[in-house]
Amino acid sequence: MLKFHSMNRPSTNHSPTFSPLYRQISRLITRSLESGEWGPGDVIPSESELAARFGVSQGTVRKAIDEMASENLLVRRQGKGTFVATHNDPRSFFRFLRIAANDGELEPLRSIPLECWRAKAGVDVARTLAIETGAPIIIVRRLLRFGDEPAVFDEIYLPGELFHDLTLDILKSGETSLYSLFESRYGVRMIRADERLRAVSADRVSAELLQVAEGSPLLLVERVTFTYGDKPVEWRRGFYSTQNFHYHNELG
């Protein structure tokens, strides 16, 4: 049974090694998610079962789950149970793709993988993905279209170790969502991402793929994506055509 101050005895608390019981619980649950005890889409045990398992009250488990639900790690469904979040779910396709049509609705999204090859990490990629310079990486290029309209040209860098057998054919046969594929085939769950946006001029390749004039302005979105434990597992540069689309962001 855990205690409130199991590892920490703050007198006037500036102790950095302090966390309340419910956070200790949410860490334990997270560890079970990492270890695969419960996979994406699965139900986890009920609050009362978890309470018994960890020797705390149901309210404390509830607060732990609340926190994890607000981080999109778990999803609660009244009457059914609490589920491990998954990208294999139409509702979450747009969680990391903040794009919308300038007017009207988006036509159906299609992902067109173009290339997929192996390389060795340069200094920048290595630093971003927290791997050794020269370590194997995989580079993917793909195009996103809404209906027949090209919208985004992505160049994606992945650590070779995690996605060992990825090929263009797998990408082509895979699901619509890349993250859904990563999750089901490689057990790599994307949790959080960091984006940097800039305006740039279209080079020849991007211009052709996105069917805009060379040199016309494009929105460059650089994204680093993290899995459990803030481990970076993807770096991508996306060129967004913003003639008919825009990047949508809500500020709270």
Residues at the contact surface with a copy of itself, assessed by CB under 8 A:
70-72, 95-96, 98, 100, 192-201, 216-220, 223, 240, 242, 246-252
Which partner in DNA, a copy of itself, none is near 251 (CB below 5 to 8 A by kind)?
Answer: a copy of itself
CB atoms within 10 A of CB 202: 21
- Is 72 a binder of DNA (CB under 7 A)? no
Which partner in a copy of itself, DNA, none is near 219 (CB below 5 to 8 A by kind)?
Answer: a copy of itself
The CA distance from 234 to 224, in Å, is 6
- Is 62 a binder of DNA (CB under 7 A)? yes
Which partner in a copy of itself, DNA, none is near 77 (CB below 5 to 8 A by kind)?
Answer: DNA
Q: 20 to 39, contacts with DNA by CB under 7 A?
A: 20-22
For 49-56, the CB contacts below 8 A with 24+ separation are 50/25, 54/1, 54/2, 54/25, 54/28, 55/1, 55/2, 56/1, 56/2, 56/21, 56/25
Shorter beta-carbon distance to a copy of itself: residue 81 or 217: 217
The secondary structure of residue 108, as a DSSP letter, is P
Shorter beta-carbon distance to DNA: residue 77 or 198: 77
Query: CB 216 → a copy of itself: shortest distance, Å?
Result: 8
Shorter beta-carbon distance to DNA: residue 14 or 198: 14
Query: CB 90 → DNA: shortest distance, Å?
Result: 17
End-to-end Cα spacing for the chain? 39
Which partner in DNA, a copy of itself, none is near 28 (CB below 5 to 8 A by kind)?
Answer: none
Name the residue among 175, 179, 176, 146 with its Cα closest to residue 163. 179
220: three-class secondary structure by DSSP: strand
Q: Do residues 159 and 129 lie in contact, with contact meaning Cβ atoms separated by under 8 Å?
A: yes
Q: How many residues bind DNA (CB under 7 A)?
A: 28
Which partner in DNA, a copy of itself, none is near 201 (CB below 5 to 8 A by kind)?
Answer: a copy of itself
Site for DNA (CB under 7 A): which residue of 31, 37, 39, 46? 46
Which partner in DNA, a copy of itself, none is near 78 (CB below 5 to 8 A by kind)?
Answer: DNA
Torsion of CA 65, 68, 70, 75, to 10 degrees: -70
CA atoms within 13 A on the CB side of 75: 15
DSSP 61-79: HHHHHHHHHHTTSEEEETT
Q: Do residues 50 and 61 lie in contact, with contact meaning Cβ atoms separated by under 8 Å?
A: yes
Shorter beta-carbon distance to DNA: residue 18 or 117: 18
Binding residues for DNA (CB under 7 A):
4-5, 10, 12-14, 20-22, 44, 46-49, 56-60, 62-63, 76-82
